[in-house]
Copies of this chain bind each other. A is one copy, B any other.
Amino acid sequence: MQTQKRIAVVGSGLVGSLLAIYLRKAGHIVHIYDRSPDIRQIQFSGRSINLAMSNRGWKALDNVNVGDAVREIAIPMDKRAIHLVDKLNFQNYGQEGECIYSISRGSLNRKMIDLAEAAGAEFFFEQKIWDVTLKEATLHIGETERGEWEEKKYDIVFGADGAFSRIRHRMQRQSMFNYSQEFLNIGYKELNIPANPDGSHKLDKNSFHIWPRGEYMLIALPNLDGSFTCTLFMPFEGENSFESLKDRKDVEAFFEKNFPDSIDVIPKLAEDFFENPTSTLVTMKCFPWTYKDKIALIGDACHAIVPFYGQGMNAGFEDISVLYEMIEKYGDDWVTIFSEYQKSRKPNADAIAELSYRNFLEMSSKTADDKFLLQKKIEKWFSDKHPEKWIPLYSRVTFSDRPYAEALAIGDYQNAIMEEVLKLENVEAIWNSEEVESKILDLLNKEATVQN
């Protein structure tokens, strides 16, 4: 057990709540602040994408025994259902039994706050933090940015306050703070597929549904109540864009032409489209993440990524796992805990940012490409035969807890090999032949020799 500290966590989102549970486990006094009302008492919706919990997330939850409580609100998805204009394809995510889990953000957040309260963390909602004094770990709280502020002093402050973190905002104004925020030209909008009258799902419940159309795409993830949360990703401007869909007629014509099989299942298409906001997508990177033994950023507050690998929450939860490892290793030495935490996490946060950025192309275009599907099929087949020699990139990211940075590097290396394999004559016919197998083995050996 560590020496007890008074710790403030700014942000009652998923990462803030789980962090509170870990800090309670380590014996600390934990106060969680949020500028918004208690999410358990309000309607939450209209601008969210369903979460896809995978291995890193479960590991962090199970380590404090809250995994099972979350499993109750999770729906396993073992495959992509790829809706082409004229047919439906399926692509398994991993080995038999390997799934990602669809969870609505609102449900999970409510559950996590309940669990953190049960663990003894105290929540303070509708408390707006405008600034933090880094050296003193002191929060400045008030109704408005220019009005009266109250000061709350702690031993340690965690900024779990998301991509537009106020805690980071203060750190950013220090010298030698590296920072970048880059918005995609693609926005997103939530739509809804309601349940059937009998409460069943209108589409296959255990699939991640995707309508890949190149520059834009539609996805749908299942909810417990039989509905699906859909998300349309599309450029803000240009030929097929949010800007180009000006009225009800435009939207309906666009969906009829491009997502014909969605028409019957999204009854309130135009209403949803014009009521729900169009949200932006940002990649944010920064360094350092910590200030002495006083302040640490965690989750989206220090590494906001685009959602195309489904790893945003999982990466934030893994931050907590690594932080806790450091707590167990370095005891009361918070300077070392924080510096080892950021040193361990920063390269992995950069790697998952890159992988997530690249994955838009995979989801929106490559899933509709026969060559890409063939590559995935060959990789899976070879991986089944030689599991010690080949873990596909998606599996390494999603079903393992190997570092993201390693996944990125090995993924690039595997891709170079597969490019050669796909050049083999008549590869479509002989994809599971001895010839292909020995070609891959050769290339792996050759590369290993070069590397040694």
Contact = CB atoms under 8 A, between A and B. Distances in A.
Interface string A178-211: 1111110000000000000000000000000000
Contacts of A181: 177-180
A450 interface: no
Interface in A258-293: 280
Contacts of A182: 178, 180
Say which size band chain A's interface belongs to: 10 to 19
Contacts of A176: 183, 280
Contacts of A177: 181, 183
A178 B182 CA distance: 5
B183 A175 contact: yes
Nearest to A185: B176
A47 to B, nearest CB: 13
Interface in A132-184: 146, 175-183
A146 B180 CA distance: 27
A169 to B, nearest CB: 9
Contacts of A146: 146
A217 to B, nearest CB: 21
A415 B176 CA distance: 33
A85 B258 CA distance: 70
Contacts of A179: 179-181
Nearest to A180: B180
A183 B175 CA distance: 8
A185 to B, nearest CB: 9
Contacts of A183: 175-178
Nearest to A175: B280
16 contacts: A146-B146, A175-B183, A175-B280, A176-B183, A176-B280, A177-B181, A177-B183, A178-B181, A178-B182, A178-B183, A179-B179, A179-B180, A179-B181, A180-B180, A180-B181, A180-B182
Given A175-B183, A179-B180, A180-B181, 5 more contacts: A175-B280, A176-B280, A178-B181, A180-B180, A180-B182
